[in-house]
Structure 1
Amino acid sequence: MKRRKFIRNTAAGAVGATFAISALSCTDKTKNPSEEKTPMTKSSPKLPLAICTWKFTNANQVAGEALEAGKLALDAVIEGVSVEEQNLKNTTVGKGGAPDREGNVTLDACVMATNGDCGAVMAVSSTSHVAALARKVMEETPHVILVGEGAEEFATLKGFESENLLTAESEKAWQEWLKSPEYKPLINIENHDTIGMLTMDKNGDLAGACTTSGLSYKMKGRVGDSPIIGSGLFLDNEVGGAVATGMGEEVVKTVGSFLIVELMRNGMSPQEACEEAIRRIVSKNNKYKDFQIAYIAMNKAGETGAYCIHEGFSMMKYQDKKNIEVPVNFYHKPS
């Protein structure tokens, strides 16, 4: 079904002048040491290509091998992120994810296809396969987003098996948290709440997915950036794509993934665009030392980039049949 193209032309035209000015401002040669470049902008354009947030080695390997086997970008990206949705040791994605303050695990996800179609689900508590469910929303409904009970009823209709997402380990950790509850997620531990992945298949076509259980011990009903097209994920098959991870509230405020794609449209490399997106956040929030945000991106030339606020984030990159962890440069470098 081709009924839902993500509306970007009007938005791009409306903000084009603003982005052009921003792009020009970023050519300033007087950059401080916290704005150093990484060599990722010089990566080979050889296809296929898969990148994902954090050291989700197996997930990225599965996606890369699917691409090598000739699968399309969307099929490969959903296969890849599903690995972490089923990984019970991952407390920030899928089954086994940390619950909210009431002890309920709820999942969010979105996907975006080569042709610009997109789908998302939010606050799902009945199935761990939320990226695949978001694809069903995209392809088999007239909508882009389904939430809560509506998303769960749709999952049942489409044959998704109902499951208990709260594992014994997650419940035990939640019970321990209740003894001295404090909502202050630990950087790089409790707030790296996402696997975001971008794939480019042998045809040079892009797709992306983002899936998460959200921040540990979040308020009931909280939704972050991950399932929001333009924030947690955005791509344009003529330009490139980007995904985000970290404190979603701050990503939403700057529509970070959309921003990165538009900056690439205006001539920035993926690395330069990720750095500018991080600078937008830290320049507007003097509390940036208290939270982590990271972006990864790729363009149609096969170049990749990544940047984050704090040390400790890395991304996976599958290319030329090699799946490697790529260390990522960061903004905040305490003296």
Structure 2
Amino acid sequence: MKRRTFILNTSLSGIGLSAMSTFPFLSSNLKPFNMSFEPVTIATWNFPNASQKAGEMLAAGASALDAVEQGVMVEEANLKNTTVGKGGRPDRDGNVTLDACIMDPGGNAGAVAYLKNNTHAVAVARKVMEETPHVMLVGDGADRFAQQMGFKKEELLTDDSKADYLKWLEKKEYKPLINIENHDTIGMLCIDSKGDISGACTTSGLSYKMNGRVGDSPIIGSGLFLDNEVGGAVATGMGEAIMKNVSSFLVVELMRQGKPPQESCEIAIKRIIAGSPNHKDFQAAVIAVNKKGEVGSYCIQEGFSYMKYHGGKNVNFSSDFYL
């Protein structure tokens, strides 16, 4: 190699190294071409049909956003699931009202709360995210928006839910039942073949809740949070406790600091416990996945489980717990 060429190449290399050390983001954000990821779906509770739907969509090349939306919609339409979508148990005034949110890999979010007459609250939430400058619409405004977007009005109170409600009216007693479907939800996170993460959370909320009550499920940072460079988390259980601790956001921030998903989930649940003297009387749980596809789960009481679809296998796992 001629001396002049050697000096020129050495100088250019030095400039490149200097730039990378001066501006480390130039190197840290560079991604190899054709990078591929093993798709993963995780979801709260034992809802195998929902995780199966999302997992199969990812395997066929669907985006994480489409997969997570279609996955939770399975349970929204499941009349036997009395905590989500159509057939959900009503509030104390006999109204079935739905809460949901969704997040895409770009950090965009949409949510609806106290939505009536529309089974697929998560689909309406996605329309809020994509078609409006807002993050959340509630009540009558959310209902009108859904109709403007072409969603047909539906009666969400089924005969079975109505019968349960009429029976409840006889005593009007309210007490959260641990691990019983009166205050749970489906939260789901998907990683697609591009490595992009999306999440969704949808529920009909507490059975026989006060009219107007909204829990953690539609609240970004509480029921759901994700960062496409780090990972995501979803929560379920007693929404008030989760909201007060912004549990999903906390899990993602802990993962950002380098903690694995399992440790992050444990810290978040123990934060709830520390601030709740009555924690033995309710359930709260979080699940999380990081950018590597590693999964974590933790809850207060024994009995919570989560689904994981990975590599063609759809498996329900029992969560570690505090008590």
> Structure 2 length normalisation: TM-score?
0.88
What SS class does the counterpart of residue 175 from structure 1 fall into? helix
Paired residues, what number? 288
- 1:234 alignment counterpart: 225
* 1:193, distance to aligned residue in structure 2 (A): 1.8
1:318 aligns with 2:302: no
- Looking at structure 2, the residues matched to 46 and 208 of structure 1 have their Cα atoms a distance apart, in angstroms, of 17
- Looking at structure 2, the residues matched to 185 and 106 of structure 1 have their Cα atoms a distance apart, in angstroms, of 18
- Looking at structure 1, the residues matched to 177 and 217 of structure 2 have their Cα atoms a distance apart, in angstroms, of 18
- Looking at structure 2, the residues matched to 268 and 301 of structure 1 have their Cα atoms a distance apart, in angstroms, of 12
Match of 2:171 among 155, 175, 180: 180
- Looking at structure 2, the residues matched to 191 and 229 of structure 1 have their Cα atoms a distance apart, in angstroms, of 22
1:267 aligns with 2:258: yes
Match of 1:246 among 232, 237, 258: 237
Matched to 2:91, the amino acid is: D
1:163 aligns with 2:151: no
Match of 1:83 among 60, 63, 74: 74
1:292 aligns with 2:283: yes
Matched to 1:245, the amino acid is: T
* Contact map agreement 1:190 1:215 (CA 8 A) in 2: no
What SS class does the counterpart of residue 243 from structure 1 fall into? strand
The C-alpha deviation readout for 1:289-330, integer Å capped at 9, x for no partner, is 000001000000110000000011000000011000011111
- Looking at structure 1, the residues matched to 169 and 188 of structure 2 have their Cα atoms a distance apart, in angstroms, of 33
* 1:47, distance to aligned residue in structure 2 (A): 1.2
* 1:255, distance to aligned residue in structure 2 (A): 0.3
- 1:277 alignment counterpart: 268
* 1:161, distance to aligned residue in structure 2 (A): 1.0
- Looking at structure 1, the residues matched to 140 and 228 of structure 2 have their Cα atoms a distance apart, in angstroms, of 33
Q: Structure 1: where are the runs of 5+ without partners?
A: 1-44
* Contact map agreement 1:191 1:247 (CA 8 A) in 2: no
1:195 aligns with 2:186: yes
Higher alpha-carbon Rg: 2
* Contact map agreement 2:37 2:192 (CA 8 A) in 1: no
Inter-CA distance 331–289: structure 2 relative to 1 (3 Å threshold): same
- 2:54 alignment counterpart: 63
- 2:40 alignment counterpart: 49
What SS class does the counterpart of residue 208 from structure 1 fall into? strand
Between 1 and 2, higher relative CO (CA 8 Å, sep ≥ 6) is seen in 1
- Looking at structure 1, the residues matched to 190 and 248 of structure 2 have their Cα atoms a distance apart, in angstroms, of 15
- Looking at structure 1, the residues matched to 94 and 175 of structure 2 have their Cα atoms a distance apart, in angstroms, of 17
- Looking at structure 2, the residues matched to 46 and 142 of structure 1 have their Cα atoms a distance apart, in angstroms, of 32
Matched to 1:113, the amino acid is: D
* 1:190, distance to aligned residue in structure 2 (A): 3.7
Inter-CA distance 265–191: structure 2 relative to 1 (3 Å threshold): farther
**1:19-58 correspondence to structure 2 within 5 Å:** 47-58=38-49
Match of 2:140 among 146, 149, 171: 149
- Moved beyond 6 Å, runs of 4+: none
- Looking at structure 2, the residues matched to 161 and 185 of structure 1 have their Cα atoms a distance apart, in angstroms, of 33
The C-alpha deviation readout for 1:5-34, integer Å capped at 9, x for no partner, is xxxxxxxxxxxxxxxxxxxxxxxxxxxxxx
1:116 aligns with 2:107: yes
* Contact map agreement 1:196 1:244 (CA 8 A) in 2: yes
Q: Structure 2: where are the runs of 5+ without partners?
A: 1-35
* 1:265, distance to aligned residue in structure 2 (A): 0.4
- Looking at structure 2, the residues matched to 192 and 166 of structure 1 have their Cα atoms a distance apart, in angstroms, of 17
- Looking at structure 2, the residues matched to 112 and 258 of structure 1 have their Cα atoms a distance apart, in angstroms, of 13
- Looking at structure 1, the residues matched to 315 and 181 of structure 2 have their Cα atoms a distance apart, in angstroms, of 24
